[in-house]
Amino acid sequence: MAPQPSSSGEPTPEQKCAQLDLGISLSLALWPALTLAVQNNWGGPSSSDKRDWFAGAISEYVTSTPEADEEDVEAMLVQVMLDEFEVAVDDGSAGEVADAVIQ
């Protein structure tokens, strides 16, 4: 059974976390650079699993680092794309994804 909103109508912390996770997953799924990397297995045969891990890592980072801002998330996106998928993202799209994550 899903947690119910509090009596004030505000989502519970669990619901907020689930919404954040969903937003991050959707932002990454809609990111053309990552989609292309996964479709072409640039991260190896486990590219899809890496994308899922990537979403979880970003979620964990922003929830455990409240002072994280768009630049921090963008740097993480760029670094993980390079380390895990061997893709140098230099088209500004990482900033757009980071902005979506932070909002």
Q: What is the pLDDT of residues 4-60, one digit of tens each?
A: 555 678 989 899 999 999 999 999 999 999 999 999 999 999 999 999 999 999 999
Segment 51-86, tens digit of pLDDT: 999 999 999 999 999 899 999 999 999 999 999 999
| Residue 5, helix vs strand vs coil | coil
Residue 29 to residues 34, 36, 40, 51, 89, Cα–Cα distance (Å): 7, 10, 14, 8, 16
pTM to 2 decimal places: 0.86
